[in-house]
């Protein structure tokens, strides 16, 4: 299958902080791709770079979406090409209602007749939101905001959906729901790029997995293979940590892959 | 009684000017959370531009006004495009200083070009034309200002209410990053609102000009317009207009019955009182951050 | 009257039409780790906001030690020994890690306006005090292994690190009761493990009682002494982790049918 | 090697002997300055120093506590009038009248801080702006304050000294400025300063950490007003004559601009901002005397603008500089300074 | 040379006035002075010396006035100061110049503070506002038979001086004002003020406010059919201008003058207009009262400089100024006397004014001869 998104050798700086140090990867059309990595590895930074949210970045490298280079384009233009983004930390409009958020999510769409339908669909996915239709997003609970951010992105009917830790702050039940929703969206033809801390879940639904360390990819492969990998098991899936904390088992200082 | 009615009428007249400036401030604040201190001077330069057209070129007033409105809109959009957009990671205070800077540049420019001496703009309706109804004097220019203020309020209100744009503007103000990621062209929206706002403000300037023009003529209307906008809630168009008329009327009644020397400041005292009770103005819901 | 360390009685609060909390009651013993679980929007954070004085409950009391705290201002409540972290990080972005934690020492310090103005080096009153409290802060930094970010502005630090700093800041208050709102959100397995370790440490070594909100069931089950489950603002069940985990309603509404 | 190396350093007044050296050089040259320059420059220095005091105080409010004030000319006026009136009417000596007047200003600051507790952004801007305008209006109407005829400052004596020249006054001004700046610097390094910053960055978190928001917000207003009051009291003696209309909204705006242009939340920035803007404000009137540029501007005026309005170019330059600084460096002059330091440190690589 | 600001070929004179800011309309005054000095220089200067004129913009901000005056006085060295616009800027430097004993002639303000108490170095030429107001009210009562006088005054030194004068006159006639309405310089909405005035049903209203405000008050009052006799201060005596900005409503208003009116037939005025204004003024300058006031205020200074002779010192100059008697330029007669404590007229050179009325098209009609205001 063709690559929908192709990131080649990008480097990103925050002022003088060198955050992404030459990262390349591709997202196949119709696939679910997951990026894993430690705290501060630069996962969010990669996504932000793709979305054109960091001014004048990437410093080097190219980003191609369906064959068109999109680096250094305005965010709204990138969005208009059919990429939806669920940012880390939700980024809701505090003083807009839930309903208004969903309308805004469909801002770029022309087929206004379908919007109502899609709103209903989002409410189907997240019934809580329906009860909160006219509440200001700023006063929603953390998890509700997260649902709203995902719902807003869905409203775009994107070709590619980029999610930054969608399960953050959701209840176990909802985490399961979210992943099945992601799967469902994917089956309906949307390609997914996912950043997750919940490696277990992420790898179980994705086809490709990438592991980021210190701004570089250190491992790429089929998710199935990654799940079998010893290091991944140890560091990301926590398989070895069966002994509970009550046993005071302390994690060894972690060594980085290099 | 006649005095009382006359004071109300005068208050409405004054309020109309405030309302126009208030509307203009609200429009910009709605998208960028910046109180635009250059609002008055943007209107000022448009007024002088209109006067220049009228006195140096032999064209009709209507054409001249039309060109001036276009000028105002372009000026607003231009300022946004050339200056405000270039601000690197702007904070609100930085933006305030930038608009103050713009204000000074425009003021300096007008004073440099046209001098400080008072002038009046040739206009088909004279500044002192009016009619007297039952002993009450109503100035034609004031009526025109009133109509313009209401016209702009209604048109803009409907426009923002029933177009996606109104919501998009609010979204931009709330969180411009989030606005971008739903595909809102925040830059274009900003530019457009600056254009519209400049046009609305310029109307106030143009309607003051037939009476008297000098480089500082827009200060008082701008401040009062700002005050009205704040009292109305800073994001509500009808709020700004209602508050503007309240201020105009209160000022006139206060001046007439209580104390004329504190007339100018009573507006501010009332606003402080209002804000003590409603910290986000009369017509805005107060948002308390949830953690 | 019977004495208990921390006690919530019939707490209710609503926002407009939404009844965020209805009749929540529980008591906590000293030294306990007490968890609150529930679906999103159940009212867990609202409960914390009531305890820390940010919301004034419509009904009910909250008692801490000998004080009735539901009408106190947040700063008073902090002073009598309740500290908290936030679900959506609320750090002071323009301070570095050390200063952020130093703010947690606020209530223990005495420097006021005048003494502050006369900070002439380390032998002045405020200088001495500053140093003394900084030592405390450094020990927290050491405990949470934050040494390599101690001089960095917190705004640009990774999410997980920020959560840790929040914990450090709350610890600096030397509270008797610590409220943790989803301390592990956004952390990977390894980091969660560290966090669990620290929370245990805090309970055991410092003797601080902990009221915890967390969606990671494994963690909740691992470390809590007791668990309260709420849904739609109403209590569902209260008991040991195992009891709660078995509860049908909890399974259905929160964990998911298959457990 | 030792991670805890600056345990004590931060607390010290000076972080190293080198800094002590430069500080002494700076203070020394400040005190020797009047010996080497025309009296006019001493006057300008007094004027600037006074503005520095206001800017430092305002920075505490705006930069550190995150409030905004467009009414500082009001506090400045209270300080000026308070000092003069206490001296003339109540016979206070200057050194007593000045702090008393500043305390009155601080009291007003406290009062203004109360409604300000719940206000933010433009709402606070309008409230403070109204305060500034009201103060001058009241002063202008009350005969005790000399009304619009203004007041003449009495002779300034401190004990046996008569300070009637700019130079003599300079030593007083500069001493006070140095001390007030040091006080401020000390204060913001301690618990109180941290509380201010905490309130600005995340007020709710600060509150739950035990910071009494009501107290600290009003305190910030009060301190800020106190500084403005002290500055105002001295301003009365720089001008020797005060009149309500001196304390305009434009003055408040200029104060705010100093703080923002200098760099929010930076003491050094406030000093730089005050120096730059005051100096520009005084100097730009001579813009036409600049060789070549002046002539060119004159030509330009004759052909395209008006020669009678030519002085207004100073507004254009002033405004442009403000815009330029804010456009390129939101942290203002302080930000530029940081950038330069970084650049030199890595120079020439 | 012996004296500061005087060389073999030059005499340095300083002045200031707002070229920017809300009061910039007054900026024409020092520009008029500038034209006048150029004319003097081109006609041979004074005893072989040219006048070097240093004028700066203070934006009507006293702090800047003081800075500029000090800079010039201490940097360049100024022999004497000429003109200088505004009450509060002037008061901020009055003490400074007194202490240095630098002569100062003709500050462009009619406030009492500049001569009360008199100061050795300071010679005022502008007729006192107080006196002018007195003359106007006297005329209204005595000649026009007005009974109900209302006063609109600007709430500052300028307006208060006018108010004081008007009240003095009323008192001497055993009358009281029917209304006193204060204006703020910044007020732009004047309808409440007009309402206040109208409520008092005056048959004469004295306007001691800014020209722009006066124009508005008269215009709106006419439109409101509030018919009364308006009288106003000499700063509003530029009838052509006032008539233009009121669109003709200024007709009938009576004002005082501080010198000739701009369209005066006086030969000296015509000469000044032709030889100074037409030659030296910028093209957008207007031959209005502010411009020629710049000439009027410093005519006595030139007289004094001439009289002081070639050996110019400040001492001699002051003495020469004190000996000016019955000098007549384009303004009223100027008389100074040797310095005497408590005698304000030893330093207040003019005390005459005459009244004019505005006719159609801004022409003026002289109503009275010169009236002494003492
Ligand atoms: N605004 C910023 N300015 C400077 N440095 C930044 C900024 N944002 C992030 N960084 C740095 O860039 C690096 C990558 O950060 P990023 O947020 O992409 O990590 P992440 O992998 O998403 O971590 P997390 O799991 O915590 O979300 C980190 O070291 C962080 O300190
Ligand atoms: N200030 C407020 N105004 C209106 N509604 C509010 C406010 N605070 C909370 N709510 C509502 O109360 C409910 C409980 O919110 P709360 O934040 O306590 O949920 P939570 O249990 O912490 O959920 P999560 O796990 O998602 O964080 C939510 O539905 C929320 O929308
Ligand atoms: Mg991230
Ligand atoms: Mg929560």
**Mind listing the pLDDT tens digit for each residue in A33-48?**
888 888 888 888 888 8
**Dist. CA B135–CA C147, nearest whole Å:** 81
- Residue A84 CB–ligand 1 contact under 6 Å: no
Quick one: pLDDT at residue A29? 84
ipTM of the complex: 0.90
User: Which residue puts its alpha carbon closest to atom 29 of ligand 1?
Assistant: A40
Q: Specify the CATH number of the domain A1-82+192-258.
A: 3.40.50.300
The pLDDT mean for chain B works out to 89
Quick one: pLDDT at residue D132? 92
Chain A stretch 205-244, residues whose beta carbon is closer than 8 A to a beta carbon of chain B: none
pLDDT at C69 over 90: no
Question: What tokens were used for C173?
Answer: 């208050």
Quick one: pLDDT at residue E36? 93
pLDDT at A254 over 60: no
Quick one: pLDDT at residue B1? 76
User: Which residue in chain B has the smallest CA separation from E290?
Assistant: B117
Question: What tokens were used for E110?
Answer: 């009619």
For E324, residues 6+ apart whose C-beta sits below 8 A from its C-beta are E300, E303, E304, E307, E334, E335, E336, E349
- Measured between CB atoms, does B281 come within 8 Å of chain D? yes
| DSSP three-state, residue D268 | helix
pLDDT at B244 over 60: yes
- Hey, are the CB atoms on C150 and D183 less than 8 Å from each other? no
Question: What tokens were used for D122?
Answer: 């433009």
Quick one: pLDDT at residue E219? 92
For E44, residues 6+ apart whose C-beta sits below 8 A from its C-beta are none
**Dist. CA D68–CA D63, nearest whole Å:** 9
- Residue A22 CB–ligand 2 contact under 6 Å: no
Helix (H) or strand (E) holding A218: strand A216-222
- Ligand nearest to the CA of residue C228, numbered in listed order: 2
| DSSP three-state, residue A11 | strand
Chain C stretch 52-81, residues whose beta carbon is closer than 8 A to a beta carbon of chain B: 54
Q: Are D220 and D109 within 8 A, CB to CB?
A: no
CA atoms within 13 A of residue E237's CA, in its CB half-sphere: 29
Question: What tokens were used for D20?
Answer: 């002590």
User: Which residue puts its alpha carbon closest to atom 14 of ligand 1?
Assistant: A42
Quick one: pLDDT at residue C1? 47
- Residue C197 CB–ligand 1 contact under 6 Å: no
pLDDT digits (tens, 9 = 90+) for E199-243: 899 999 999 998 889 999 999 999 888 889 999 998 898 898 899
Buried b (16+ CB within 10 A) or exposed e, C147-177: eebbeebbeebbbbbbbbbbbbbbbbbbbbb
pLDDT digits (tens, 9 = 90+) for A80-120: 888 999 988 788 888 888 888 888 888 888 877 888 888 88
Quick one: pLDDT at residue E14? 93
Q: How far is B137 from chain E (nearest CA, A)?
A: 5
Question: What tokens were used for B3?
Answer: 């005095």
Q: How far is B128 from chain E (nearest CA, A)?
A: 5
Instruction: List the subunits that have 3+ CB pairs under 8 angstroms with B.
Output: A, C, D, E
| pLDDT tens for chain D, residues 1 to 349 | 344 445 555 666 666 677 778 888 888 888 888 888 888 889 889 999 999 999 999 999 998 998 889 999 999 999 999 999 999 888 888 889 999 999 999 999 999 999 888 888 888 988 999 999 889 888 888 877 877 777 888 888 887 888 878 888 899 999 999 999 988 888 888 888 889 999 988 889 999 999 999 999 999 999 999 999 999 999 999 888 888 888 988 899 999 989 988 988 888 899 999 999 999 888 887 777 788 888 888 888 888 888 888 888 888 988 998 899 888 888 888 888 888 887 776 665 5
Q: Higher model confidence: residue C119 or residue E65?
A: E65
- Hey, are the CB atoms on B168 and A92 less than 8 Å from each other? no
Quick one: pLDDT at residue A77? 87
pLDDT digits (tens, 9 = 90+) for E332-341: 888 899 888 8
A 10 A CB-CB count for A55 gives 9
Question: Looking at ligand 2, which atom is closest to the CA of residue C49?
Answer: 18
- Residue C56 CB–ligand 2 contact under 6 Å: no
> In the CATH scheme, what architecture does the domain C1-81+177-259 have?
3-Layer(aba) Sandwich (3.40)
Predicted confidence band of residue A253 (pLDDT cuts 50, 70, 90): very low
pLDDT digits (tens, 9 = 90+) for C162-194: 888 999 999 898 899 999 998 888 887 777 888
Quick one: pLDDT at residue E231? 94
Residues whose Cβ atom is located within 5 A of ion ligand 3: A 44, 88
In chain A, residues with a C-beta closer than 8 Å to the C-beta of C160 are 39-40
Instruction: List the subunits that have 3+ CB pairs under 8 angstroms with E.
Output: B, D
Quick one: pLDDT at residue A64? 85
Question: CA torsion angle for C174, C178, C179, C184 (degrees, to 10)?
Answer: 90
> Phi/psi class of residue B72: alpha, beta or left (left: φ > 0; alpha: ψ in -120 to 50)?
alpha
Predicted confidence band of residue E52 (pLDDT cuts 50, 70, 90): very high
Query: What share of chain E has pLDDT > 70, as a percent?
Result: 100
Chains B and D touch (3+ CB pairs under 8 A): yes
pLDDT at A222 over 80: no
Quick one: pLDDT at residue C116? 75
- What is the average per-residue pLDDT within E130-142? 91
- What is the average per-residue pLDDT within C213-236? 88
User: Which residue puts its alpha carbon closest to atom 31 of ligand 2?
Assistant: A140
Domain(s) of CATH 3.40.50.300: residues in chain C: 1-81+177-259
In chain D, residues with a C-beta closer than 8 Å to the C-beta of B220 are none
For the ranges A151-160, A204-213, D33-42, D282-291, the lowest mean pLDDT is seen at D282-291
Q: How far is the CA of C156 from the centre of ligand 3 (A)?
A: 11
| DSSP three-state, residue E275 | helix
How many residue pairs bridge chain A and chain C with CB atoms within 8 Å of each other? 116
Predicted confidence band of residue A236 (pLDDT cuts 50, 70, 90): low
Quick one: pLDDT at residue D307? 81
The pLDDT mean for chain C works out to 85
**Dist. CA E292–CA D55, nearest whole Å:** 42
Q: How far is the CA of A44 from the centre of ligand 1 (A)?
A: 7
Predicted confidence band of residue A245 (pLDDT cuts 50, 70, 90): very low
Question: What tokens were used for D97?
Answer: 């009248």
- Residue C49 CB–ligand 2 contact under 6 Å: no
Helices (H), ranges, D240-312: 249-262, 267-283, 293-303
Quick one: pLDDT at residue A243? 47
Predicted confidence band of residue C3 (pLDDT cuts 50, 70, 90): low
- Residue A243 CB–ligand 1 contact under 6 Å: no
The pLDDT mean for chain A works out to 81
Quick one: pLDDT at residue D100? 94
> Phi/psi class of residue A247: alpha, beta or left (left: φ > 0; alpha: ψ in -120 to 50)?
alpha
Most ligand 2 atoms within 8 A of CB, residue of C46, C85, C233 to mutate:
C46
Predicted confidence band of residue E170 (pLDDT cuts 50, 70, 90): very high
Question: What tokens were used for D43?
Answer: 């006057």
Q: Are D59 and D270 within 8 A, CB to CB?
A: yes
**Dist. CA D291–CA E10, nearest whole Å:** 22
Buried b (16+ CB within 10 A) or exposed e, C117-146: bbbeebebebbebbeebbebbbebbebbeb
Q: How far is B53 from chain D (nearest CA, A)?
A: 15
pLDDT at A249 over 50: no
- What is the average per-residue pLDDT within B229-258? 91
- Residue A133 CB–ligand 2 contact under 6 Å: no
Location of structure tokens 């020397």:
B261
> Phi/psi class of residue C227: alpha, beta or left (left: φ > 0; alpha: ψ in -120 to 50)?
beta
């Amino acid at each position: 299958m063709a690559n929908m998104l192709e990131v080649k050798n990008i480097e990103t700086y925050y002022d003088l902080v060198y955050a992404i140090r030459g990262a390349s990867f591709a997202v196949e059309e119709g696939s679910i791709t997951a990026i894993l990595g430690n705290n501060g590895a630069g996962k969010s930074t990669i996504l932000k770079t793709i979305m054109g949210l960091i001014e004048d970045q990437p410093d080097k490298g190219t980003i191609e979406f369906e064959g068109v280079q999109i680096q250094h384009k305005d965010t709204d233009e990138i969005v208009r090409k059919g990429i939806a983004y669920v940012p880390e930390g939700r980024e809701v409009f505090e003083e807009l209602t839930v309903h208004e958020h969903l309308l805004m999510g469909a801002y770029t769409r022309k087929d206004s007749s379908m919007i109502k339908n899609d709103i209903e669909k989002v409410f189907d996915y997240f019934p809580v939101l329906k009860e909160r239709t006219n509440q200001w997003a700023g006063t929603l609970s953390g998890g509700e905001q997260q649902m709203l951010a995902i719902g807003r992105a869905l409203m775009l009917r994107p070709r590619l959906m980029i999610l930054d830790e969608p399960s953050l702050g959701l209840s176990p039940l909802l985490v399961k729901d979210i992943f099945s929703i992601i799967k469902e969206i994917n089956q309906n033809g949307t390609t997914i790029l996912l950043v997750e801390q919940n490696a277990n879940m992420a790898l179980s639904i994705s086809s490709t997995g990438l592991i980021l360390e210190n701004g570089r990819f250190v491992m790429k492969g089929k998710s199935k293979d990654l799940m079998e990998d010893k290091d991944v098991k140890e560091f990301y899936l926590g398989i070895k940590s069966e002994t509970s904390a009550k046993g005071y088992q302390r994690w060894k200082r972690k060594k980085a892959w290099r | 009684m006649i005095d009382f009615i006359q004071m109300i009428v005068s208050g409405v007249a004054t309020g109309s000017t405030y309302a126009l400036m208030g509307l203009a401030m609200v429009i910009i604040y709605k998208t960028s959370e910046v109180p635009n201190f250059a609002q008055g001077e943007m209107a000022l330069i448009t007024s002088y531009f209109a006067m220049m057209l009228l006195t140096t070129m032999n064209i009709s007033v209507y054409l001249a006004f039309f060109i001036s409105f276009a000028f105002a809109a372009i000026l607003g959009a231009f300022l946004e495009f050339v200056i405000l957009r270039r601000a690197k990671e702007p904070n609100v205070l930085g933006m305030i200083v930038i608009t103050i800077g713009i204000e000074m540049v425009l003021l300096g420019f007008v004073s440099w070009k046209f001098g400080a001496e008072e002038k009046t703009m040739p206009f088909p309706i004279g500044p002192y034309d009016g009619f007297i109804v039952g002993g009450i004097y109503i100035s034609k220019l004031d009526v025109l200002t009133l109509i313009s203020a209401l016209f702009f309020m209604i048109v803009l209100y409907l426009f923002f209410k029933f177009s996606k744009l109104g919501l998009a503007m609010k979204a931009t103000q709330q969180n411009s990053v989030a606005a971008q990621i739903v595909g809102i062209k925040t830059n274009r929206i900003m530019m457009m609102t600056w254009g519209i706002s400049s046009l609305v403000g310029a109307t106030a300037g143009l309607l003051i000009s037939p009476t008297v023009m000098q480089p500082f003529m827009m200060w008082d209307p701008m401040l009062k317009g700002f005050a009205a906008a704040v009292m109305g809630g800073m994001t509500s168009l009808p709020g700004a207009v209602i508050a503007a008329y309240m201020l105009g009327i209160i000022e006139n009644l206060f001046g007439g019955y209580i104390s004329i020397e504190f007339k100018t400041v009573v507006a501010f005292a009332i606003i402080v009182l209002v804000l003590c009770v409603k910290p986000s103005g009369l017509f805005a819901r107060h948002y308390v951050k949830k953690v | 009257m019977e004495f208990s360390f921390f006690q919530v009685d019939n707490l209710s609060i609503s926002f407009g039409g939404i009844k965020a909390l209805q009749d929540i009651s529980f008591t906590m013993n000293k030294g306990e780790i007490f968890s609150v679980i529930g679906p999103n929007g159940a009212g867990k954070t609202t409960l914390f906001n009531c305890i820390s004085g940010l919301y004034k409950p419509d009904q009910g009391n909250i008692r801490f030690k000998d004080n009735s705290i539901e009408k106190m201002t947040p700063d008073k409540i902090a002073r009598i020994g309740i500290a908290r972290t936030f679900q959506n990080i609320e750090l002071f972005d323009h301070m570095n890690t050390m200063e952020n934690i130093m703010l947690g020492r606020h209530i223990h310090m005495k420097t006021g306006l005048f003494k502050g103005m006369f900070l002439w080096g380390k032998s002045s009153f405020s200088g001495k005090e500053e140093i003394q409290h900084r030592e405390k802060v450094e020990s927290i930094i050491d405990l949470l292994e934050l040494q390599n970010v101690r001089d960095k502005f917190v705004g640009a630090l990774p999410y997980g690190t920020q959560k840790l700093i929040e914990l450090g800041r709350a610890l600096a208050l030397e509270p008797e009761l610590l409220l943790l709102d989803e301390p592990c959100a956004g952390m990977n397995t390894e980091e969660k493990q560290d966090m669990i370790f620290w929370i245990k440490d805090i309970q055991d070594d410092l003797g601080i009682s902990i009221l915890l909100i967390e969606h990671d069931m494994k963690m909740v089950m691992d470390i809590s002494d007791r668990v309260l489950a709420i849904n739609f603002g109403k209590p569902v069940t209260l008991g040991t982790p195992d009891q709660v985990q078995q509860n049908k309603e909890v399974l259905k509404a929160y964990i998911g049918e298959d457990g | 090697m030792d991670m805890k190396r600056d345990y004590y350093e931060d607390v010290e007044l000076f972080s190293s002997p080198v800094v002590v050296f430069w500080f002494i050089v700076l203070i020394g040259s400040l005190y020797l300055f009047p010996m080497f320059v025309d009296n006019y420059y001493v006057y300008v220095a007094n004027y600037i120093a006074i503005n520095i005091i206001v800017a430092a105080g305002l920075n505490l409010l705006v930069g550190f506590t995150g409030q905004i004030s467009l009414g500082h000319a009001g506090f400045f006026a209270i300080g000026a009038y308070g000092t003069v009136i206490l001296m003339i009417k109540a016979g206070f000596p200057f050194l007593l009248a000045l702090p008393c007047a500043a305390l009155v200003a601080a009291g007003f600051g406290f009062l203004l801080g109360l409604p300000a507790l719940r206000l933010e952004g433009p709402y606070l801007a309008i409230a403070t702006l109204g305060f500034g305008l009201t103060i001058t209006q009241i002063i202008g109407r009350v005969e005790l304050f000399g009304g619009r005829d203004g007041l003449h400052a009495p002779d300034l004596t401190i004990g046996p000294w008569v300070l009637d020249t700019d130079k003599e006054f300079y030593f007083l001004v500069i001493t006070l400025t140095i001390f007030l700046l040091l006080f401020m610097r000390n204060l913001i390094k301690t618990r109180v300063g941290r509380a201010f910053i905490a309130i600005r960055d995340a007020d709710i978190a600060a509150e739950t950490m035990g910071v009494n928001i009501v107290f600290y917000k009003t305190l910030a207003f009060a301190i800020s007003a106190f500084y403005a009051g002290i500055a105002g009291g001295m301003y009365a003696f720089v001008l020797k004559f005060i009149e309500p209309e001196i304390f305009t909204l434009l003055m408040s705006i200029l104060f705010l601009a100093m703080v923002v242009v200098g760099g929010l939340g930076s003491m050094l920035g406030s000093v730089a901002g005050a120096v730059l803007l005051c100096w520009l404000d005084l100097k730009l009137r001579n813009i036409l005397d600049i060789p070549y540029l002046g002539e060119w501007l004159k030509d330009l005026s004759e052909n395209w603008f008006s020669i009678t309005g030519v002085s207004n170019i100073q507004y254009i330059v002033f405004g442009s500089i403000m815009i330029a600084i804010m456009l390129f460096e939101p942290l203002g002059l302080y930000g530029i300074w940081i950038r330069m330091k970084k650049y030199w440190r890595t120079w020439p690589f | 040379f012996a004296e500061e600001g005087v060389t073999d070929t030059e005499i340095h004179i300083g002045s200031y006035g707002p070229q920017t800011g809300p009061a910039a309309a007054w900026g024409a005054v020092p520009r008029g002075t500038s034209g006048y000095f150029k004319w003097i220089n081109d006609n041979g200067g004074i005893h072989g010396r040219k006048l070097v004129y240093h004028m700066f913009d203070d934006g009507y901000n006293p702090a800047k006035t003081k800075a500029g005056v000090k800079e010039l006085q201490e940097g360049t060295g100024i022999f004497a100061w000429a003109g200088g616009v505004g009450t509060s800027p002037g008061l901020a430097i009055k003490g400074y110049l007194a202490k240095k004993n630098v002569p100062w002639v003709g500050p462009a303000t009619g406030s009492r503070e500049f001569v009360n108490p008199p100061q050795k170095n300071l010679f005022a030429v502008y007729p006192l506002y107080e006196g002018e107001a007195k003359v106007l009210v006297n005329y209204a009562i005595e000649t026009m038979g007005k009974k109900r006088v209302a006063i609109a005054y600007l709430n500052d030194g300028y307006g208060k001086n006018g108010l004081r004068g008007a009240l003095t006159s009323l008192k001497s006639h055993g009358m009281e004002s029917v209304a006193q309405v204060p204006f703020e310089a910044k007020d732009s909405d004047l309808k409440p003020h007009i309402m206040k005035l109208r409520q008092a049903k005056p048959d004469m209203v004295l306007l001691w406010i800014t020209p722009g405000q006066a124009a508005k008050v008269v215009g709106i009052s006419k439109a409101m059919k509030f018919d009364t006799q308006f009288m106003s201060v000499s700063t509003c005596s530029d009838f052509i201008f006032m008539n233009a900005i009121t669109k003709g409503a200024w007709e009938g208003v009576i004002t005082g003058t501080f010198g000739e009116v701009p369209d005066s037939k006086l030969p000296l005025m015509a000469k000044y207009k032709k030889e100074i204004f037409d030659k030296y003024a910028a093209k957008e300058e207007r031959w209005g009262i502010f411009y020629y006031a710049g000439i009027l205020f410093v005519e006595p200074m030139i007289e004094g400089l001439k009289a002081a002779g070639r050996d110019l010192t400040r001492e001699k100059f002051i003495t020469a100024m004190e000996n000016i008697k019955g000098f007549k330029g384009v303004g009223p007669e100027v008389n100074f006397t040797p310095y005497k404590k408590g005698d304000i007229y030893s330093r207040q050179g003019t005390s005459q004014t005459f009244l004019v009325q505005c006719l159609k098209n801004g022409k003026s009609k002289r109503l009275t001869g010169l009236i002494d205001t003492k």
